[in-house]
Amino acid sequence: MMAEHGQPCDAKEAGYCMNEATCYKISSMNLLSCVCRENYKGSRCEQYLLPVQTEQDRGLLAAVIFVAILILVVLAVIILYVYRMLKSKNQRKNQVKSSNMSYKI
């Protein structure tokens, strides 16, 4: 079967291409050629291309970070509010106790 890239390599030539690439023999030039899988390049598909972060990925990351910071701020405000409520409640209790003690004297 003839392909766009030439004849498929035979069994002994199939190992020429790396990373599960497809090997083809270009008969007219007596050369081997490789058709690389996604994320690979090079004459024998020996180089791995790191995935590139897209604008959409960056936007999603920024949104996640923003929401996480917002949640932390809201949580801090709630904790501060509860702390102040408990503190003022304790102060009122102490004032009531001290005023009751002054009447007992």
3-state SS assignment for residue 51: coil
Same-domain check for residues 65 and 44: no
Could you tell me the residue range of the domain that residue 38 belongs to?
7-48
pLDDT digits (tens, 9 = 90+) for 23-54: 999 888 889 999 999 999 999 999 999 877 77
Is residue 1 one of the residues assigned to a domain?
Answer: no
**DSSP per position, 62-96:** HHHHHHHHHHHHHHHHHHHHHHHHHHHHHHHHHHH
Q: What is the pTM of this model?
A: 0.46
Please, which residues have CB within 8 angstroms of residue 3's CB and are 6 or more apart in sequence?
A: 24
- Residue 70 corresponds to which tokens in the numbers above? 């917002």
Q: Kindly state the average pLDDT of the residues 66-79.
A: 98
Query: What pLDDT band is residue 2 in, cutting at 50, 70 and 90?
Result: very low
- pLDDT of 91 above 90: no
| 26, 32 Cβ separation under 8 angstroms | yes
Both 79 and 67 in one domain: the answer is yes
Q: How many domains does the chain have?
A: 2
Burial class (CB in 10 A: 0-12, 13-18, 19+), 95: exposed
